[in-house]
Chains A and B, each alone.
Chain A
Amino acid sequence: MSKNEKLATEPAAGAALAVQPVKEKRESIWKDVFAGIVSNKASLISGIFILILVIIALVTKFVPGVLPYDPYAQNLSESLVGPSAAHWFGTDIQGRDIFSRVLVGTQITLTVGLAAVAISLTIGVLLGSIAGYKGGKTDTVIMRVMDMMLAIPSILLAIAIMAALGPGIEKAVVAIGLVSIPEYARIVRSEILSIKENDYVAAARVVGDSNAAIIFRHVLPNVLPSIIVRATLGISTAILDAAALGFLGLGVQPPAAEWGDMLGRGRNELFRAPWLMIFPGLAITLTVLAFNLLGDGIRDGLDPKARKR
């Protein structure tokens, strides 16, 4: 076997570098996420806003005394009072303090938004991954079921599921979560279809990785950006869907305070008492916006290319 002669080259760049025994510290993934949120002002403010919401939800749950008024106590003599020093956000038709109700509503609204998204995210990502990665008959079966679910208007499907499960906020969460599974499954599947053709997935297979390892280590992390964006938008949809179900008498049961439900009930008095809708509406808008901006920050934090060093 003849020894091949060396090709003349410039001194290899690596050769000079190899002698320096420098050690770089490696950060955990949570640090990356945190860095991503902090590096972006909008997402930092959003993160703080959401933190405050969580604190409000916890405090009103465990220390009800901090509220200026009992959010459930009716006082018909003060029905539909506009915003004032006594009632910052005004009162509703039963004379209940809207400020107190908005604060208490944080509990249900946050739970509904997060729990519903958690359900649809888990199941949707799982189904979408299997369909996209396995392909063939598995893909056809899963995606046709998803198409069937999409063919029925989501609120109608949610009503049908509620009809089977019975009324109640927990069941509304389950219904809303189930209804939006197809959206996640479709996004994840289409992303995976393109990602799995990458050479690094083939490389993992050559090395002997199992299918699960390939999906969780190589494919899903690269699907993450689109999932995060969709999930943060999904929180808002879930809050509004919960409101719609509540309006139909299937979700939140009166007198419980929930922003979407307050919005729906305030609709009748839109011109006489606009504050009935303005404040819960503002609360929903700000929360949804905050989740979206926070999502952007998380996405940037997880993307090695977007991170500033």
Chain B
Amino acid sequence: MSEHNEQVAGAAQPQAGADGASAPEQDILLDVQHLTKRFAAETNFFGKATSHVQAVDDVSFHIRRGEAFGLVGESGCGKTTVGKMLVNLLRPTSGKIVFDGHDLTAMKPGERKQYCKDIQLIFQDPYASLNPRMRIGDIIAEPILTNNILPKDKVEDRVNELLECVGLANYMRNRYPHEFSGGQRQRVGIARALAVNPKLIVCDEPVSALDVSIQAQVLNLLDDLKEQFGLTYLFIAHGLNVVKHVSDRVGVMYLGKMMEIAPKKALYADPLSPYTQALLSAIPSVDPATKKDRIILEGDVPSPIDPPPGCRFAGRCFAKVEGCDEVMPPLVEVKPNHQCACHRYDEGGPGTAVVA
């Protein structure tokens, strides 16, 4: 099955030009291949794992330079775990993270460190992500000093510049985090991520802890910064409307598996995977006159501990066909640039592929 995936991923890239943006091979900034992370769920007396949580299971996707890739899914689907593996907070169980042509997973810890600053993370909780005993200025200066990016006497100017970039005044430099509001704190978190001139920023639900009026401000800010610094985003979120606003392409995860990857417009207009369809139908409408056909899923998300073979979504799927319970469908390109993992598209579908 994994061999199959590789062929598809290889085949997808030359066709990327059809999307409008020309995307030759070297334009791929991040290429995640068969990334898997297992956590020990239970251990026996000797500390050996007897069962595992499959947090992330054989996930492959790529992000082009300058692109914003949205990763959505409900709580516990493994999207944050993917983000944490990218920034080296977790080690993958298997799989490859190829960043800018370098395989990060094959590196020794010391070697990996030099690439750390190229991938930064914006945290979900702006209250927990700032050290309460450090001044804002020191929090932003720390990454610059740690990575020796600027000589010491230039750091202060740089901090002022960064504060201005994120819409904070430079006199706030000497304040402590508790003196700021949630939105302002998140701006500080963004300034810290920008401090090392990263190439890729992983935004881990950066607005879900903020109230709605502030969400828009922070999203606009992220958008502006992307233009200004030519950043690439991996935008993790559980709100489809947030992802719709910021991302160019979207990946949908369910229970550790990537279910569908498509350009934003294609995904929202024509979702292929039954899970994505259900997810999109759950977006509430602002217009009470529009009647929506909501797909109501039955049951709960199954336990990710030692999941059974077959499609992860099979137990709740309304479009189940034969074979769904036996084999997890591979992620195949059903339409140009539109990948989906579903048995319904295996044969006879637009992007004909055969089950491995």
Q: B-contacting residues of A (Cβ < 8 Å)?
A: 1-4, 6-10, 12-15, 17-26, 198-200, 202-209, 213, 217-218, 221-222, 302-305
**Contact between chains at B121 and A206 (CB < 8 Å):** yes
Q: In the complex, what residues of A have CB within 8 A of residue B142's CB?
A: 204, 207, 209, 217
**Contact between chains at B89 and A205 (CB < 8 Å):** yes
A/B interface sample: 16 pairs, CB < 8 A: A1-B20, A1-B66, A13-B183, A15-B167, A17-B168, A18-B164, A18-B167, A18-B169, A199-B123, A202-B121, A205-B89, A206-B88, A217-B131, A217-B134, A302-B133, A305-B132
**Contact between chains at B128 and A9 (CB < 8 Å):** no
**Contact between chains at B21 and A1 (CB < 8 Å):** yes
**Contact between chains at A12 and B217 (CB < 8 Å):** yes
Q: In the complex, what residues of B have CB within 8 A of residue A3's CB?
A: 227
> Chain B, 128-149, contact with A by CB distance < 8 Å: what is the 0/1 string?
1111111101000011001100
**Contact between chains at B167 and A198 (CB < 8 Å):** no
Q: In the complex, what residues of A have CB within 8 A of residue B121's CB?
A: 202-203, 206
B171-179, B278-286, B310-318, B340-348: which lies at the interface: B171-179
**Contact between chains at A222 and B146 (CB < 8 Å):** no
Q: A-contacting residues of B (Cβ < 8 Å)?
A: 20-21, 66-67, 87-89, 113, 116-117, 120-121, 123-125, 128-135, 137, 142-143, 146-147, 163-164, 166-176, 178, 183-184, 187, 189, 192, 196, 213, 216-217, 219-221, 223, 227, 245-246, 248, 265
| Docked pose: A7 CA to B210 CA in angstroms | 15
Q: In the complex, what residues of A have CB within 8 A of residue B248's CB?
A: 1-2
| Docked pose: A8 CA to B89 CA in angstroms | 35
**Contact between chains at A14 and B132 (CB < 8 Å):** no
| CB closest chain-A residue, reference B224 | A6
**How far, in Å, is A36 (CB) from chain B's closest CB?**
13
| CB closest chain-B residue, reference A203 | B129
**Contact between chains at B178 and A305 (CB < 8 Å):** yes
**Contact between chains at A304 and B213 (CB < 8 Å):** no
Besides the known contacts A22-B171, A203-B121, A221-B133, 5 further A-B residue pairs in the complex with CB atoms under 8 A apart? A2-B248, A10-B217, A19-B169, A217-B131, A305-B132
**Contact between chains at A207 and B117 (CB < 8 Å):** yes
**Contact between chains at B143 and A4 (CB < 8 Å):** no
- Given known pairs A14-B166, A304-B178, the reply for A9 and B213 (CB within 8 Å) is yes
| Docked pose: A221 CA to B227 CA in angstroms | 38
**Contact between chains at B169 and A20 (CB < 8 Å):** yes
**How far, in Å, is A280 (CB) from chain B's closest CB?**
40
| Docked pose: A223 CA to B130 CA in angstroms | 16
| CB closest chain-B residue, reference A221 | B133
| Docked pose: A12 CA to B168 CA in angstroms | 10
Q: In the complex, what residues of B have CB within 8 A of residue A23's CB?
A: 170-171
Of A20, A24, A200, the residue contacting B131 (CB under 8 A) is A200
**How far, in Å, is A20 (CB) from chain B's closest CB?**
6
| Docked pose: A163 CA to B132 CA in angstroms | 46
| Docked pose: A7 CA to B213 CA in angstroms | 10
**Contact between chains at A7 and B219 (CB < 8 Å):** yes
Q: In the complex, what residues of A have CB within 8 A of residue B187's CB?
A: 14
- Most central of A1, A7, A202, A207 by chain B CB within 10 Å: A207
Q: In the complex, what residues of A have CB within 8 A of residue B113's CB?
A: 208
**Contact between chains at A304 and B176 (CB < 8 Å):** yes
**Contact between chains at A202 and B89 (CB < 8 Å):** yes
**How far, in Å, is B127 (CB) from chain A's closest CB?**
9
| Docked pose: A198 CA to B216 CA in angstroms | 26
| Docked pose: A207 CA to B134 CA in angstroms | 16
**How far, in Å, is B313 (CB) from chain A's closest CB?**
30
Q: In the complex, what residues of A have CB within 8 A of residue B171's CB?
A: 20-24
| Docked pose: A198 CA to B113 CA in angstroms | 21
**How far, in Å, is B96 (CB) from chain A's closest CB?**
20
| CB closest chain-A residue, reference B176 | A304
**Contact between chains at B170 and A21 (CB < 8 Å):** yes
| CB closest chain-B residue, reference A23 | B171
